[in-house]
Structure 1
Amino acid sequence: MVEKFLHPMLALGLCVAPFLVSAQDAYPSKPVKLVVPYAAGGPADLLARSVAEKLGARLGQPVVIENKPGAGGHTGGELVARGPADGYTLVLATIAHNGAVALYPKLRYDPMKELKPVILLAEAPSILIVKQDMPVKSVQELLALARSQSGRLTYGSAGNGSAMHMAAELFRYMTKIDYTHVPYRGGAPAMADLLGGQIDMLFESLGTAHPHLKSGKVRALAVTGTSRSASLPDVPTVAEAGVAGYSSVPWYTISVASGTPASIVSRLNSEINAVIKAPDLAQRWDGLGIVPLGGNPADAQKRNEIETTKWSAVIKAANIQLD
């Protein structure tokens, strides 16, 4: 009797098993969402859109961009961290999630624990630019003006804790000047106000700033990386311009909710690595001043840890804190 009972059950198990394996292998079986935690049109948004198109083709499902600005990037970050850990919702994570979390002692989630990096996507050195009629042509002239008008000069950013904000705060800390921060819900509205003369300066991505530099609508003072940009060889680094040791290079990861199955993280990592090696994407990114990185999830985690140590020290030393 036992044998007669077991045989049908065994047969049923053998029938169900392929469907279970198939369901796992079938990822993704529906569209994937890539959350950009900033407004449309800024550098993070442009980067995400360039990846989404090619990633969708490789996955066989659309990768849909969803802009969720707010709280310096944490509105979108929390949305993904608290969502299903199934690989169907990704986030373009930035310094806000991976390095500057010390700014927010009252966050409702822990991005370092609740977001899992899939890949170290890219980095994009920034450039310090000022509005067209600003009476300065060098970093030293800017510092002199800032010291003569303590607190009156303004700089914009993509939001509290964004790469633009942190670059400016590091500059403030290292030069001992004072100016006023004007946070926006993304880089695009900040650039619009710089062009309109409502703010005085920005630490903007090279790609976003380049067309406005060519048209003469803004002026470049220095790049934030450790070396000059090939597209702007005459523009010094901030360190060369007299702020010794200064370096701020925004980096991006694509992350998912912690608990996402390792097999899905591995699949996404493999496909995104392939995407960023595509020659046409590399050419497009070069024009935007974006450097592709890639690697495995452990590489991304290591970079996040190094940057978190660096920026936590800056935030503490400069006594920057937000609610």
Structure 2
Amino acid sequence: MNSIINKLQLKYIKFFLVISVGFVVLNPTFAAEYPTKIVKIIAPVSPGGGVDLVARTIADSLTRSLGQSFIVDNQSGGGGIIASQTIARATPDGYTLMLSYVGTHGTNPAVRKLPYDAIKDFTPIAMVGGTPNVLAVYAGLPIKNLKEFIAYAVSHPDTMSFGSAGPGTLTHLAMEQFKIQGNFPSTHVPYRGIGPAFTDTLGGQTLSMFPGLAAALPHIKSGKLRAIAVTGTKRHPLIPDVPTFKESGFDGFDGVQWYGISGPAKLPVAIRDKLNAEINKAIQNPELKERLSAEAISPMPMSPDQYAQYIKDDIDRWTKVAKDRKISLD
């Protein structure tokens, strides 16, 4: 008799939990009152750098606009896999979010077998912005445009090289994409981070690289690196004399080093839309724009559906490059 009662109690408890979750998802009042407690934004990197800056900038803005604390929790490791897995397993109630970016939801899925699905296990909330990558060469080379770059690489197949922040990173795959289209040789020299890659390119030990604009800008301005072309759909105002790849005759280089906010799968639509509206409003604010400009990041407002499609397209782009060049980190 007791076992029957216990089974009935367990059944009713499960029923109550299902109803409670459904209430959270469907009840518009819950979304209207959101947030009622501290919201955590996980940054998949150590403190410092572009990813951390964007996370803290958005957290500060949402704290002011929604009247509740948004805090940043740095969870580095595994190239963003640890943080991504945390989000994929989190309760979809809007109180655990993530600063997703091209590394976690662009290049990682292209070169690794991940313990989660980068599309199905997340709710894309809002794109924040992006910064282009720039093809740059050692200043001692006689190269001033893409045509000369390719000609030099073809005529110096044994010495042409490029440094990257590591295998499978955007700074690696972007150059591989160019090698496919330009049909030229260049030896990949991977480093543990972009800093050492800069050191060797500035000294001429490696001859080129494809870094983010923010990291490259001081070296370009000093004349120690020469910028040849920039990714994206238009020239960047910080280097207005540097043409885009498209201007130089190469299509498909409109990708950028992007940053956005995502949550776990099955996040209530009303909460997703509320956060999207607040973030889109925030990134048009002059003060926030100025703060992001420190990393050469331009706002890229999108709807959640547009952001979801952007992520899918970016994964498809880098997956194709990785397959073509047989790049896998597993």
How far the C-alpha of 1:141 sits from its partner, in A, is: 4.3
- Which one of 228, 231, 250 corresponds to residue 244 of structure 1? 250
Counterpart residue identity of residue 280, structure 1: E
Summarize deviations over 1:243-265 as a string: whole Å, max 9, x none: 52251422332111112222322
- Which one of 137, 143, 149 corresponds to residue 150 of structure 2? 143
For residues 146 and 77 of structure 1, do their structure 2 counterparts lie closer, same or farther at Cα, with a shift above 3 Å needed?
Answer: farther
RMSD: 3.2
Q: After the TM superposition, which of the residue ranges 45-54 and 127-136 deviates more from structure 2?
A: 127-136
- Which one of 307, 317, 321 corresponds to residue 314 of structure 1? 321
Structure-1 separation of matches of 2:130 and 2:266 = 26
The match for 1:78 is 85
Matches within 5 A, 1:222-301: 222-241=229-248, 244-250=250-256, 251-286=258-293, 288-301=295-308
Summarize deviations over 1:150-172 as a string: whole Å, max 9, x none: 47623113x55443333122112
Unaligned regions of 5+ residues in structure 1, if any? 1-16
Structure-2 separation of matches of 1:119 and 1:107 = 23
The match for 1:220 is 227
The match for 1:179 is 187
- Which one of 36, 43, 55 corresponds to residue 48 of structure 1? 55
| Pair 1:202-2:239 in alignment | no
Note if contact 1:32-1:88 (Cα within 8 Å) is conserved in structure 2: yes
The match for 2:13 is none
The match for 1:10 is none
Unaligned regions of 5+ residues in structure 2, if any? 1-19
Counterpart residue identity of residue 244, structure 1: F
Q: Identical aligned pairs, as a percentage?
A: 34
How far the C-alpha of 1:214 sits from its partner, in A, is: 1.9
Matches within 5 A, 1:24-39: 25-39=32-46
The match for 2:118 is 111
Q: After the TM superposition, which of the residue ranges 83-92 and 267-276 deviates more from structure 2?
A: 83-92
Structure-1 separation of matches of 2:70 and 2:151 = 48
TM-score (norm 1): 0.78
The match for 1:155 is 163
Note if contact 2:111-2:319 (Cα within 8 Å) is conserved in structure 1: no
For residues 228 and 216 of structure 1, do their structure 2 counterparts lie closer, same or farther at Cα, with a shift above 3 Å needed?
Answer: same
How far the C-alpha of 1:318 sits from its partner, in A, is: 2.6
For residues 154 and 209 of structure 1, do their structure 2 counterparts lie closer, same or farther at Cα, with a shift above 3 Å needed?
Answer: closer
Note if contact 1:156-1:201 (Cα within 8 Å) is conserved in structure 2: no
TM-score (norm 2): 0.77
For residues 27 and 200 of structure 1, do their structure 2 counterparts lie closer, same or farther at Cα, with a shift above 3 Å needed?
Answer: farther
- Which one of 72, 83, 91 corresponds to residue 65 of structure 1? 72
Counterpart residue identity of residue 82, structure 1: R
How far the C-alpha of 1:114 sits from its partner, in A, is: 0.6
Counterpart residue identity of residue 34, structure 1: I
Summarize deviations over 1:233-291 as a string: whole Å, max 9, x none: 221223444x5225142233211111222232222112211211212223444564322
Helix, strand or coil at the partner of 1:204? coil
Helix, strand or coil at the partner of 2:127? strand
Question: Aligned pair count?
Answer: 302
Structure-2 separation of matches of 1:70 and 1:119 = 24
